[in-house]
Amino acid sequence: MTDPVREIKERINVVDFLRSYLQLLPAGRNFKALCPFHKEKTPSFMVSPDRQSWHCFGCGEGGDVFTFLMKYENLEFYEALRVLAEKAGVELRSIARTGEREFNVLFDANAAAAEYFKAMLGKTPAVLEYLKKRGLKQETIEEFGLGFAPDQHEGLLLWLRGKSIRPEDSVRAGLAGRNERGLYFDRFRGRVMFPIANHTGRVVGFTGRILPEYERPDLGKYVNSPETPIFVKSRILYGFYRTKGDIRNANAALLVEGQMDFLMVWQDGVKNVAATSGTALTPEHLSTLRRFADRLIVSFDTDEAGWAAGERAIDLAQALDFSVRVVTVPGAKDPADYVAAHPGSFEGLVLSARHAMEFYFERYGFKEGNALSLEEKKKAARGVLGKARNIASPIEKMHWIKKLAEISGVSEQALLEEMERLPAGPPAVQTGRQDLPESGAERGSQEASGPAPQTLTRRELIAERLLGLALSENSLPALKEAEPYLPPLYREAYRELVRGRPDESNASPRVQELAGLIQLRAGLEMGEHSTELMRQLKKEYLKDRQHELSLKIAEAERAGNDGRRDQLMQELASVAKEMHTI
Ligand SMILES: [Zn+2]
């Protein structure tokens, strides 16, 4: 059987194809151009005729004719396939296998549902008015594909049937239910709909907020899609597919709760934001963010439940060696309310976010104008010391103990002794996760999400720069000491580059491709310094190690294995210590 994708690639030359979109300038045996996917003044977009591929070293996007077309024209893989097949004169036969269909139908159903909800919103001005009254702008509503589920039993089901999606597949996709009489019904009725996309940007589920006029005590204010093979709640952060680049560039992430907070804050100009939605914060959420940023700004509601949730987030984030700050919204219930009342001012709030320890001073009672009795003071100091003990950096730890001494009037020495006497135990880390994903769910969702371009993690990005730089300076052997910190694939590519002779290579295609990419990069002068990159690489390596450990900790917690958890927590702490020696 012939492979239409390969056939198309053989017939369409990437240089000719991209030339119809971009102005290509010669660069040695390659071509360069201004990247259409990010703003730039000097070209970092390279096209390689040898490898029939393109890559932007500015934003990290890259791929072949398919990925270019998908990204440029915002097409799904199968749409791009159709366009290119026509261009290349390749006939498409049935290309979907059964297993793939079973899986893809979940994506198709969710995508079709998003379309339906959007169309319904367009037809219901009152709901649009409601969203605008809550402060959302038209552009934001469109950008994040908000919609409306009318109060009907079979509105969506009929629409999906019209798209050849069977009711049983709608149930599997979490969009419909079935009652005891065997009748199917829409899961979401009379609700504003927020599509939830996975980290590559495909809709995998929804949150539906009931319209005020339909509110009833027996109906949940929010209804979420259930877990499905493509919707793994403990991993997915709302909006992350859209903001991960901003988070990486800012090296900081603002974490909020729920879609409305996310949208209002994003609309207000704070783009490096992500939100939990429909589930409590998990270590997986945080360690995903950790791979993109060093700093975390936690925002939470000012009620008691909000404080408790915030405290959990801080402790977990500090265990992952995030530098944590806390932003609270004065005089408002939540960030969304605050932005609605004071548009244009959230960024200022984020900039003035307090250090997590300052938050703890207040939490335990050290507030201005709050006179404490000796007993209260002791209790408050113990609370703060319990948190300070978990700080990985000794310098930072001493800084806060000094501060505590100032505020409490107790000597540093006494505080240190008190800290020693606190009952031992690792910082509390809870997963808040109730249900397990179906096995292989993540792998499956990645496979089925098509060849969408992947955003590199910081570690990969740094590895790529470092190798490109070393190659252009002819100093590859000097990178030996950095080798253990390279991501596995880059390590192999490094060896491949040191070995030379690409024609005789027996490395895997992925490694060869990466080595080729690094050679392509070496053609760009980026004005970088290798010792600094090496330092950063080691840091990212340790961060990834923390990521792995935190996943294992979550696992041990779920299994109720306290011994293993404590051991892992110790390992985590030693990684954090090593981090501070860099
Ligand atoms: Zn770019």
Ligand 1 midpoint to CA 48 (Å): 15
Helix (H) or strand (E) holding 449: none
Q: Is there a single domain that holds both residue 58 and residue 194?
A: no
At residue 525, the pLDDT reads 56
pLDDT tens per residue across span 447-473: 333 333 346 677 888 888 888 888 878
In the predicted structure, residue 425 carries a pLDDT above the cut 70? no
Domain match, 132 and 152 both: yes
What is the token pair recorded at 299? Answer: 């925002």
With respect to residue 435, please indicate whether it lies within any of the assigned structural domains. no
Residue 434, domain member (yes or no): no
Q: How far apart are CA 386 and CA 77, in angstroms?
A: 52
Q: Which residues of 173-210 are buried (b: 16+ CB within 10 A; e: fewer)?
A: bbbbeeeeeeebbbbbbbbbbbbbbbbbebbbbbbbbb
Distance CA 402, CA 427 (A): 22
Residue with tokens 């060849």: 451
Would you give the DSSP letter of residue 531?
H
CA 219 / ligand 1 centre spacing (Å): 46
Handedness of CA 398, 400, 403, 407 (dihedral sign): negative
475 Cα to the center of ligand 1, angstroms? 27
Instruction: Give the model's confidence band at 446: pLDDT under 50 very low, under 70 low, under 90 confident, else very high.
Output: very low
Cβ distance 326 to 353 under 8 Å?
Answer: yes
Domain boundary among 73, 95, 117: 95
Q: Assess whether 488 and 416 both reside in one domain.
A: no
> Which of 171-185, 276-290, 525-539 reaches the highest mean pLDDT?
171-185
| pLDDT tens column, 264-320 | 999 999 999 999 887 788 887 887 888 788 899 998 777 777 777 888 888 888 877
How far, in Å, CA of 342 to CA of 265, rounded?
A: 11
Contact indicator for 208, 225 with CB cutoff of 8 Å: no
The total of other beta-carbon atoms located within 10 Å of residue 436's CB is: 11
pLDDT of residue 475: 84
Q: How many Å apart are CA 558 and CA 45, to the nearest integer?
A: 45
Rounded Cα distance between 561 and 546, Å, is 19
Split at pLDDT 50, 70, 90, the class of 75 is low
Instruction: Identify whether residues 158 and 14 lie together within a single domain.
Output: no
Least confident of 97-101, 139-143, 347-351, 472-476: 97-101
pLDDT per position as a tens digit, 113-146: 999 999 999 999 999 999 999 999 999 999 999 9
Query: What stretches of 329-477 show up as alpha helix (H) in DSSP?
Result: 335-341, 346-351, 356-363, 374-388, 394-408, 412-421, 441-448, 458-472
As separate numbers, helices (DSSP H) first and strands (DSSP E) second, the chain gives 25, 16
Measured in Å, residue 517 CA sits from the centre of ligand 1 at 15
Which residue range(s) make up the domain with 349? 240-421
Residue 45 CA to ligand 1 centre (angstroms): 6
Concatenated DSSP letters for 451-498? TPPPPPPHHHHHHHHHHHHHHHTT-GGGGGGGGGGS-HHHHHHHHHHH
Tell me what the mean pLDDT of segment 480-497 comes to: 90
Distance 205 CA to ligand 1 centre (A): 29
Within a domain: 234:
no
**Distance from Cα 201 to the centre of ligand 1, integer Å:** 18
- State whether 216 and 255 are in the same domain: no
Ligand 1 ion: Cβ-proximal residues, 5 Å cutoff:
35, 37-38, 56, 58-59
Q: Are residues 460 and 389 in the same domain?
A: no
What pLDDT score was predicted for residue 448? 31
pLDDT band (50, 70, 90) for residue 418: confident
Using the mean position of ligand 1's atoms as its centre, give its distance from the Cα of residue 32 in Å.
11
Q: Are residue 91 and residue 110 in the same domain, yes or no?
A: no
C-alpha 541/C-alpha 526 separation (Å) is: 23
Tell me the β-bridge partners of 325: 297, 355
- CATH code of the domain containing 46: 3.90.580.10
Range 346-354 average pLDDT: 92
* Residues 66, 115 share a domain: no
**Which domain-ending residue is among 164, 193, 224?**
224
pLDDT on residue 292 = 83
Q: CA-CA distance, 442 to 160, in Å (whole number)?
A: 25
- Is the domain of 20 the same as that of 56? yes
Q: What is the pLDDT of residues 6-29, one digit of tens each?
A: 888 888 999 999 998 888 998 888
Structural domain count, the chain? 4
Tell me the average pLDDT across 102-110.
87
CA distances from 115 to 133, 147, 202, 535, 559 (A): 23, 8, 13, 47, 40
Q: What is the reported pLDDT for 451?
A: 32
Going by C-alpha positions, the residue among 239, 285, 254 that lies closest to residue 146 is 239
Average pLDDT over residues 341-361: 92
Give residue 134 CA to ligand 1 midpoint distance, Å.
Answer: 35
What CATH number corresponds to the domain at position 163? 3.90.980.10
φ, ψ of residue 257 in degrees (nearest 5): -110, 120
Please give the residue that has the higher pLDDT: either 344 or 93: 344
